[in-house]
Structure 1
Amino acid sequence: MINVEQMAAVLEALPDPAFILSRSGKYVAVFGGSDARYYHDGTGLIGLYIPDLIQPEKSDWFLKQIDRALESRKLVVEEYELSNSDVKGLPNEGPEAPIWFEGRIQALNFLVDGEEVVLWVASNISERHALEIKLRALSDTDQLTGLFNRRKLERDLTLHYDKFVRYSVPTSILMFDLDNLKKINDSKGHHVGDEMILTVANACRSAIRKTDTACRFGGDEFVIALSNTGHDHAHLFAQRLNQYFRKELSRFNVGDTFATASIGVTTMISADRSYEDTLKRADQALYKAKGLGKDRIVSL
């Protein structure tokens, strides 16, 4: 049998810190946290309360998780971030990136000073979280251009369509591709075609807002989703983009073969049953622009 002293030694040797917290957010006891790479001595927290240490918005969140664990009597697992700005009395200097933790919170079957308590084990998962973000970004990114890919576009358009249906927030879509790419490829080589695609991608990146989505849809075809943008403003945006394309792609002209782009523009309407209806209409507008002689914008 392990005696009391041995059990205390085991608890102190835990790599991750374990806190006994009351329903009101009092630090009743602190164990472990022996991995000095990630944690400092937390014994100074004993007797203090979460709202005394943490800014209101974040401290309210901690107290809600304690309540969840106490009410459900089940293990609660949550990921959360903490930065200097979350802790009262600390300067804003420090690591630029917040530290990410996984909290595992379990109700305990005894009271301390008449209050219900939980065990909260906090594991530093910053490295794992950073890797997950990197992998997610890679899975959403087109390798050649660095723009988003079709998978990411479809997720964003699903959200935009939901906002349109619920709150009438408009989203406009531009679909465009390069004119005469095959002829220029045949004349100058496929590496020049890649340069043209990169030129268009850079133009998209510099033209859009953070709330917009620019995507390489496939080959030399691109899509831009303009959030909270009506049809007229989307058409004006397309005009500016087309002028930029003419200027930047002109260096790829071969004789009387011009490197330009054709653009289709549309906006979500009440008759659309999904974002796919909007996307199909943008494709029809692009097809019409091609049929009318290329290097032009068609709005539907």
Structure 2
Amino acid sequence: MINIEKMASVLRALPDPAFILSRSGKYSAVFGGRDARYYHDGNGLIGLYISDIVKTEKANWFIEQIELALESGALLIKEYELSNKDVKGLSDEGPDQPIWFEGRIQALDFLVDDEEVVLWVASNITQRHELEVKLRELSDTDQLTKLFNRRKLEADLAVHYETFERHAMPISMLIFDLDHLKQINDTQGHHAGDKAILTVADICRAELRKTDVACRFGGDEFVIVLPNTNLVHAAQFAERLRARFNLALSHCSVDGIAVTVSIGVATMAPTDRSYEDTLKRADGALYEAKRNGKNRVISA
């Protein structure tokens, strides 16, 4: 059998730190944390409160998790970040990237100083988190332009449609493609065509707000989503964007015919049953712009 002394040795040898935390956020005991690559000795925390160590907003989050674990009695698993900006007494200057942890929080069936307590095991998952972020970026990003791809767009549009249904916030879409790009590809090569596509992508990044979404929909076709923007303002923005595109693409021409941009615009309407309905109307407006001579903006 393992006696108490041996059990204490086992707890001290744990690679990840394990904390006994009270409902009020007091560190009652600290075990483990022997993996020196990631952790420092945590014994100095005993007797302190979470609010003594980290700033109010982050401390409140920790207390909320402790309460959730105590109320549910079930194992709670949470991922969270900590940076120098969260810890009291540290300068805001320092590494840009926070440290990510996975917390496993379980209510215990005894009291410490008349308070309910939980076991909180913290595992450093920074490398795993960074890898997950990179993989997610790769799956959401168009390789050529570094704009979002169609997969990411469709996921975002589903969220925007829910927002529209719930709050009736105007959400507009622009769908556009490059006129005469095929002639450029055929006569000057796909490198020249890619250069024109990259020019369009760069202008999108420069002109859009942080809340806007731009994606390469496929080939030379792009979609821009403009939250909190009605049809009139979206069409005005589309005209400014078209002028910027045309100016930047004026050097791309074949036999005197320059590459230009045709744009279709639509806004989510109460009759739309999904974001696909809005996108179809914007696409119809784009084809109307093409039929009417190209290099123009048409609103659905």
Q: 1:53-96 CA deviation, whole Å, 9 max, x = no partner? A: 22222111111111111121111100011112212222212221
Instruction: Please name the residue that 2:268 is paired with.
Output: 268
Q: CA deviation at 1:242?
A: 0.7
Dislocated runs of 4+, deviation >4 Å: none
Q: Report Cα offsets for 1:151-186 as digits up to 9, x if no partner.
A: 111111111111111112111100000111112211
1:202 positional shift: 1.2
- CA displacement 1:209-247 (0-9 Å, x = unmatched): 111111000111100001111112111111111111111
Give the deviation of 1:108 after TM superposition. 1.2
CA shift digits 1:128-170 (9 cap, x unpaired)? 1111111101000011111100111111111111111111211
Partner letter of residue 148 of structure 2? F
Aligned partner of 1:33 in structure 2 is: 33
Deviation, 1:115, is 1.4
Q: Does residue 84 of the first structure (1) align with residue 84 of the second (2)?
A: yes
AA partner of residue 256 (structure 2): D
1:143 is matched by which residue type in structure 2?
Q
Structure 2 CA distance, aligned partners of 1:286 and 1:91? 53
Counterpart of 1:207 in structure 2 is 207
Match of 2:253 in 1: 253
Instruction: After superposing the two structures, state which structure 1 stretch, 4-13 or 27-36, moved more.
Output: 4-13
User: How do 1:34-183 residues align onto structure 2 when only pairs under 5 Å count?
Assistant: 34-183=34-183
Please say if residues 184 and 257 of structure 1, whose CA atoms lie closer than 8 Å, have aligned partners that are also in contact: no
Indicate the residue corresponding to 2:287 in structure 1: 287
Give CA deviations for 1:247-300 in whole Å, capped at 9, x if unaligned: 111111112322111111111111111111110010000000000001111111
CA distance in 1, matches of 2:268, 2:109: 55
Which stretch has the larger CA shift, 184-193 or 113-122?
Answer: 184-193
Aligned to 2:191: 191
Listed as ranges, the gaps of 5+ residues in structure 1 are none
What is the CA–CA distance in structure 1 between the aligned matches of 2:243 and 2:53, rounded to whole Å? 55
Specify the code of the residue in structure 2 equivalent to 1:130. E
Instruction: Indicate the SS of the match to 2:254.
Output: coil
CA distance in 1, matches of 2:96, 2:191: 39
Matched-pair contact (CA < 8 Å) for 2:251–2:258 = no
- Provide the C-alpha distance between the structure 1 equivalents of 2:11 and 2:265, rounded to a whole number of angstroms: 63
Equivalent pairs counted in the alignment come to 300
- TM-score w.r.t. length of structure 1: 0.97
Match of 2:249, SS?
helix
- Counting aligned pairs with the same residue, the percent is 68
3-state secondary structure, aligned to 1:251 = coil
Q: TM-score, normalised by structure 2?
A: 0.97
SS at match of 2:183: helix
Return the offset for 1:4.
2.6
User: Which residue number corresponds to residue 220 of structure 1?
Assistant: 220
Q: Which moved more, 1:290-299 or 1:195-204?
A: 195-204
Distance 1:247 1:141 in 2: 26
Structure 1 residues 47-56 or 235-244, which shifts more? Answer: 47-56
- Supply the AA of the counterpart residue of 1:23: R
Q: Separation in 1 of the partners of 2:20 and 2:271?
A: 56
Q: Look up the SS of the partner of 1:278 in the other structure.
A: helix
For 1:222 and 1:236, how far apart are their aligned partners in 2?
A: 18
- Quick check: 181-190 or 34-43, which moved more? 181-190
The AA in structure 1 aligned to 2:11 is L
Query: What is the Cα deviation at residue 201 of structure 1?
Result: 1.2
* C-alpha deviation, 1:116, in angstroms: 1.4
Give the deviation of 1:199 after TM superposition. 1.3
CA-based RMSD of the aligned residues comes to: 1.2
Contact 1:66 1:118 survives alignment (8 Å):
yes
